[in-house]
Structure 1
């Protein structure tokens, strides 16, 4: 087991090294002078030269890379040009809405997808199974921002049950902030549940047809115990995989939804940084999102050890 964990950690380091190199190269090979692009057409040559010196762009590419790696090892993602603050601080200030939105959305997606997917597999070919498959295809084809706009129109504007946008005031309680996240979490959760439902159904169908399930039934075990204890436990690995990938996608893909609902999250920050050509923020956000992808995959791999003892061998 320790060897398996060590291999996964080494893989994480290699992946992050590749991502860091790609992010570094992309900014440097962008057409035009990055400093001139960030400052805009009205910047003077003196301003451009000063920014190039501040960002280290006047040095050789090799020295820039070494300096960039040294900054990252110290936890320094650079300085935002327009926010005039460290990128790390800017991302940390916007992390809370994105984190809770992702967590809330995953909970909603799993609450919808897992029971329906399990029951649809158990009642394969029935009306429930066909209806679940149809609804999953429908949910997968709906853009989350469009569903968000519909939810705003119905539940916020017409009925007034939820706020239209925002994340509450500076002194808002945790409950009030979660209340503001309800509609965007539902929008993301419903769309994300489609893929989890399909994988849950497919994985359960594979397991329910195995010999050990027939043996368990032949021994007289109840259907609930056969499905929930024997079948579900053996079908969990692909289900955990798709849940982890969905969480990673939500972290990086909630940009439009955060913009629609006016949430001050990381996605909104990235959109603003792209529009203002704030390359340090874009670089930092890409690295953080990539690190979260790798970390989530590592956590899922560790969960494999608990679900399936064969993995550790």
Structure 2
């Protein structure tokens, strides 16, 4: 074959490879964009459906907000009508919903019937305590749960593995308020290491007041993370790529970090996202037990006193946090395992 033809053939081959590579790259980008768009649309649809349920559930709950505002008195029809108009309760349910959702989009959840103040102001006074409590509990869950799961997986079939399994099962079965009472009896009453009541002042004092509540809130979830971590890592240990890495002479820490834990992290992340809502909801019991002034205890008080705007706001915040965190987890998973975005993941 003449040299010119050989050169031309080589050039065409290079161009073909570049074109093929470009098509693969554009195809991957399109799949990724479609994946992200689908998750965002799902987020918006879920929040819209949740807002409908949260708002209209008020109309099936017994109790009249207007009579609650005039409690302790024998209100006349004129007084009830005036209060009803003042709080917009005289409008149709659809109008009330449109006004409410419009305010929510601007950070306005209405006025509290109990505190006679903007719901946003009431929540801002309570929200920092709950966020700090949940954040500290999340740290405990991550550190203790991952550590226990990794140790159990590395020692699978031995005494340590069985001990961690039994302990995690027991912890998962104990209600958080029982754990709270045990922690108070041991660390607050007997040892006197931590305070047992109140939120404390911002800073180190607040941290000391939140240690026991965060442990009470997080220990049951530690058990769940430990079991998921152990199960996911055990599944990866029998995969072919791990056996190949081991046969190539890689050290055990390298195999565990690069080939086992990295591939096992996806289900752990998924469960962690679900735990966010669990922490926010469970915080109400813990806050009541330890006398913390967070949104959990506020929710209990508002339900008891029929303060519908505050109840709706707190429930909506929990739903937004749950759906948003799970969407973020969904978006992070393709970065860990690109097969998810490509739709080629196999189990």
Q: Please indicate the TM-score interval, normalised by the length of the shorter structure.
A: over 0.9
Asked if 1:65 is matched to 2:97, the reply is yes
Question: 1:64, CA displacement in angstroms?
Answer: 2.1
What value does the CA root-mean-square deviation take over the aligned residues? 1.6
Alignment equivalent of 1:295, drawn from 296, 321, 324: 324
Q: Which runs of 5+ in 2 are unaligned?
A: 1-31, 343-347
Q: Which runs of 5+ in 1 are unaligned?
A: none
Deviations 1:61-92 (A, max 9, x none): 23222222222222211100111111111112
Asked if 1:182 is matched to 2:214, the reply is no
Q: Which residue is equivalent to 1:84?
A: 116
How many residues align structurally?
A: 310
Question: 1:41, CA displacement in angstroms?
Answer: 6.5
Distance 2:83 2:105 in 1: 23
Compare 294-303 and 180-189 and name the one that shifted more: 294-303
The structure showing larger relative contact order (alpha-carbon pairs under 8 Å, at least 6 residues apart) is: 1
Compare 278-287 and 186-195 and name the one that shifted more: 186-195
Distance 1:23 1:37 in 2: 20
Distance 2:96 2:86 in 1: 12
**Given that residues 119 and 309 in structure 2 are in contact (C-alpha distance below 8 angstroms), is that contact kept between their aligned partners in structure 1?**
yes
Question: 1:312, CA displacement in angstroms?
Answer: 3.1
Compare 179-188 and 113-122 and name the one that shifted more: 113-122
**Given that residues 148 and 187 in structure 1 are in contact (C-alpha distance below 8 angstroms), is that contact kept between their aligned partners in structure 2?**
yes
Alignment equivalent of 1:263, drawn from 292, 315, 332: 292
Alignment equivalent of 1:19, drawn from 50, 58, 62: 50
Q: State the secondary structure of the residue aligned to 1:181.
A: helix
Q: Which residue is equivalent to 2:190?
A: 158
**Given that residues 63 and 306 in structure 2 are in contact (C-alpha distance below 8 angstroms), is that contact kept between their aligned partners in structure 1?**
no
In structure 2, relative to structure 1, the CA distance for the partners of 1:43 and 1:193 (3 Å cut) is farther
Distance 1:70 1:259 in 2: 32
Alignment equivalent of 2:67, drawn from 26, 36, 43: 36
Distance 1:301 1:124 in 2: 30
**Given that residues 105 and 189 in structure 1 are in contact (C-alpha distance below 8 angstroms), is that contact kept between their aligned partners in structure 2?**
yes
Q: Which residue is equivalent to 2:83?
A: 51
Question: 1:213, CA displacement in angstroms?
Answer: 0.8
Asked if 1:95 is matched to 2:95, the reply is no
Asked if 1:3 is matched to 2:47, the reply is no
In structure 2, relative to structure 1, the CA distance for the partners of 1:39 and 1:210 (3 Å cut) is farther
Q: State the secondary structure of the residue aligned to 2:198.
A: coil
Asked if 1:105 is matched to 2:105, the reply is no
**Given that residues 28 and 34 in structure 1 are in contact (C-alpha distance below 8 angstroms), is that contact kept between their aligned partners in structure 2?**
no
In structure 2, relative to structure 1, the CA distance for the partners of 1:128 and 1:57 (3 Å cut) is same
Alignment equivalent of 1:216, drawn from 225, 240, 245: 245
Q: Which residue is equivalent to 2:17?
A: none
Question: 1:147, CA displacement in angstroms?
Answer: 1.1
**Given that residues 58 and 308 in structure 2 are in contact (C-alpha distance below 8 angstroms), is that contact kept between their aligned partners in structure 1?**
yes
**Given that residues 217 and 282 in structure 2 are in contact (C-alpha distance below 8 angstroms), is that contact kept between their aligned partners in structure 1?**
no
Question: 1:151, CA displacement in angstroms?
Answer: 1.2
Deviations 1:244-298 (A, max 9, x none): 2112210122101001111111101111111111111001111111111111112
TM-score by length of 2: 0.85
Question: 1:217, CA displacement in angstroms?
Answer: 0.7
The structure with the largest alpha-carbon Rg is 2
